[in-house]
Amino acid sequence: MTAWRSGDPMAETLLSVRELTVSFRTEDGPVLAVDAVNFTVAPGEVLALVGESGCGKSVTAMALTRLLPRSATIAGSVHLGQTSVLDLPGTGLRDIRGRDIAYVFQEPMTSLNPVLTVGRQIGEVLRRHQHLHGRTVGWRSVELLERVGIPLPERRLREYPHQLSGGMRQRVMIAMAVACRPKLLIADEPTTALDVTVQAGILDVLRELRTDTGTAVLLITHDLGVVADLADRVVVMYAGRTIEEAGTEALFDRHSHPYTRGLLEAVPNPLRRTGGLREIPGRVPTMRHSPDACTFADRCGYADDVCRQERPRLAPGPAGHPVRCFHPLAATGATA
């Protein structure tokens, strides 16, 4: 499969998410976590979901294959090719999970089973989805560990997760995720708590897998350095809503939403002329319902009465890409 190229008008749609809405039942009433989110992913593309903790990124990813607790109510549509994923019965979902859509979760130590060896856990994927048996499972498991750059793979198959470093555990998770050559790999903060050298190695693995197999990647992160290094396109989320969507270069150089600018200005920059880190005042709100207003208004220096009384639409802004804002920033280039 040919890898997706940014800006390719002929790229087909692999994943289509339309009006995805997720709410949770709680003792204090329903809480809205994802509010009518729309996005697409093309074959071989790396799409990044970006935002602060609590913006709905991980819930969005888990909702794609209904990996949420029973307290969650999911509405909208998710199509993988022509397949309506949310309408599949339990058996159909189990076939897609791990085979067509695979996950690399945020903390591998809690995602891997601590009482099973690495080899047994990888082998389970191969037996379930690839119908492999006997020595073939072992050979294929060794190949997968070699592919993700783990030394002495035969030895690692006999070890338990606690015997591996954080970087190795993350590579094991990636090996399990790509065992069936999925169409879409969802990587939720794949480099969290890893040092810079290990982080670079993990990103190299994801980049090589995308190039070699054509697997698309939905990358969930708040690390804008990772986004700049790996992503083709970025969707910025805030309070469960999509507020800006653009190609990576366009987002960094010609962003339009004040929240996006706030995220970029919070990144350490030795070239910044005015000293110190800049912060976004306040915190992400917890929503009981979908308000007819801009959810960022209380933290935004540009907000006025219109922002607090009307819901902004996601529409082309000054830079030409979609932005949900009544007062989008002029396309004047990167932040200082």
Q: What does the H/E/C string look like for the chain? A: CCCCCCCCCCCCCCEEEEEEEEEECCCCCCEEEEEEEEEEECCCCEEEEECCCCCCHHHHHHHCCCCCCCCEEEEEEEEECCEEHHHCCHHHHHHHECCCEEEECCCHHHHCCCCCCHHHHHHHHHHHHCCCCCHHHHHHHHHHHHHCCCCCHHHHHCCCHHHCCHHHHHHHHHHHHCCCCCCEEEEECCCCCCCHHHHHHHHHHHHHHHHHHCCEEEEEECCHHHHHHHCCEEEEEECCEEEEEEEHHHHHHHCCCHHHHHHHHCCCCCCCCCCCCCCCCCCCCCECCCCCCCCCHHHCCCCCHHHHHCCCCEEECCCCCEEECCCCCCCCCCCC
Q: For residues 267 and 224, is the Cβ–Cβ distance under 8 A?
A: yes
Give the model's pLDDT for residue 213: 83
Write down which residue in 179, 200, 231 finishes a domain.
231
In a domain, 312, yes or no: yes
Q: Give the pLDDT confidence of 175-196 residue by residue, as tens digits.
A: 898 888 899 999 998 887 677 8
Same-domain pairing of 68 and 111: yes
- Whether residue 297 is contained in a domain is answered as yes
pLDDT tens per residue across span 135-172 = 999 999 999 999 888 899 999 999 999 999 888 898 89
Instruction: Please check whether residue 7 lies inside any domain of the structure.
Output: no
Q: Are residues 114 and 200 in the same domain?
A: yes
Q: Domain residues for 255? A: 241-324
* Mean pLDDT, residues 56-63: 95
Q: Do both 223 and 252 map to the same domain?
A: no
Q: What is the pLDDT of residue 162?
A: 93
Does some domain include residue 205? yes
From 170, 197, 231, give the residue that closes a domain. 231
Mean pLDDT across the chain, nearest whole number?
88
Residues 181 and 320 in one domain: no
Asked whether residue 173 is domain-assigned, the answer is: yes
Residues 149 and 69 in one domain: yes
Residues 166 and 312 in one domain: no
Beta-carbon contacts of residue 110 (< 8 Å; ≥ 6 apart)? none
2 pLDDT tier (thresholds 50, 70, 90): very low
Rounded percentage of the chain residues whose pLDDT exceeds 70: 92
280 versus 4: the higher-pLDDT residue is 280
Whether residues 221 and 250 fall in one domain: no
Decide if 8 is inside a domain: no
Q: How many separate domains does the chain show?
A: 2
CA angle 321, 42, 218 (to 5 degrees): 85
Q: Considering 173, 197, 231, which residue would you say is the last residue of a domain? A: 231
**CA 189 to chain CA centroid, nearest Å:** 7
- Kindly tell me the sign of the dihedral angle through the C-alpha atoms of 152, 156, 157, 158: positive
Residue 29 belongs to a domain: yes
Per-residue pLDDT at 111 = 83
Say what the pLDDT of residue 183 is.
93
Residues 197 and 218 in one domain: yes
pLDDT digits (tens, 9 = 90+) for 67-83: 999 999 999 999 999 99
Q: Can you give the pLDDT at residue 274?
A: 62
Residue 7: predicted pLDDT: 43
Q: Are residues 247 and 205 in the same domain?
A: no
Cα Rg of the chain, angstroms? 21
Whether residue 178 lies inside any domain: the answer is: yes
Length of the chain: 336
Q: Averaged over 199-206, what is the pLDDT?
A: 84
Q: Are 56 and 170 within one domain?
A: yes
**pLDDT value of position 336:** 38
Q: Same domain for 20 and 169?
A: yes
- Give yes or no: residues 265 and 154 share one domain: no
For β-strands 46-50 and 233-238, DSSP reports them as: parallel
CATH code where residue 146 lies: 3.40.50.300
